[in-house]
Structure 1
Amino acid sequence: MAEYLIYFNQQWVGDHTEEWFRSRGPLAMAVVNEIKAAGEYLFAGGLEEEGPVFSADATSGELMFTDGPYVETKEWLGGLTVVDVADEERARMWAGKIAEACGWPQEVRLFGSMPEIETSED
């Protein structure tokens, strides 16, 4: 099994009426329920546009927190789904169903495998 991230940037959503968005919710939830029923669901959720947004950066050697998204960022994550599927074909199928239900594009990325880390026993 392989874990895939299916996600969209908020800018891909486009301008729609409140009624249009309300009509998409049940369609999207139906796909999430279908993923759950198939036993391939790990997580799904949309991100709040308002609310806490901050970054943590330790690249200078000192940990710094900055409130708000990066000003120069043109796109930001709007929502995501994580699935655990047998192959890429299955990930494509779920991404297609999510794209159809939501009404905007989805991008798919395969999670890399975690390296084995040896632990010392005391």
Structure 2
Amino acid sequence: MPQYLVYFNQQWVGDHDEAWFRSRVEPSTAVVRDMQRQGVLVYAGGLVEELEEAASADATSGEVIVTDGPFAETKEWLGGLTIIDVPDDESAREWAGRVAEGCGWPQEVRRFKDGSLQAVTRQG
């Protein structure tokens, strides 16, 4: 089956108070639990929002340069992602809609290129 990335940029979240964010925990985790039950979830998680904890790696000059913070040209940055394994675009769009509804902010969904996502198992 094809695999899809459902994601959002942090800037899409909007400004909300703490109570609003707490109100999104149950609906968003309910969608993830449903994905688990239906066997379509590969991975889901949000990212740390503090950009000073980010780092960027660039090898376009022929030399690898790692710097603190997001890539200098970035105007938006990734806030979280979900990877799902579903039969078709329609199913992926339905799940993306459910994630958007659960979180309360927009999501984008894109199919991985055929053969580009490899299963990785943790050793140890």
Q: Normalized against structure 1, the TM-score is what? A: 0.89
Query: Corresponding residue for 1:102?
Result: 103
1:18 deviates by 0.1
Matched, 1:12 2:12: yes
Distance 1:20 1:86 in 2: 34
Structure 1 runs of 4+ aligned residues shifted over 4 Å read none
Distance 2:3 2:115 in 1: 12
Aligned residue type for 2:74: T
Query: Corresponding residue for 1:41?
Result: 41
Aligned residue type for 2:81: L
Per-residue CA distance 1:16-43 (angstroms, 9 max, x = gap): 0100000101110000000010000000
Per-residue CA distance 1:48-104 (angstroms, 9 max, x = gap): 011521111111111110110134422110000000001111101100101111111
Larger Rg belongs to: 1
Listed as ranges, the matches of 1:28-107 within 5 Å are 28-50=28-50, 52-107=53-108
Percentage of pairs with the same residue: 62
Distance 1:75 1:43 in 2: 22
Distance 1:19 1:36 in 2: 27
Structure 1 stretches lacking a partner, 5+ long = 116-122
1:114 deviates by 3.0
Aligned residue type for 1:69: P
2:75 is paired with a residue whose SS is coil
Query: Corresponding residue for 1:119?
Result: none
Distance 2:53 2:2 in 1: 31
Aligned-pair RMSD on alpha carbons? 1.2
Tell me which moved more, 65-74 or 97-106.
Answer: 65-74
Distance 1:69 1:17 in 2: 25
Query: Corresponding residue for 2:24?
Result: 24
Count matched residues: 115
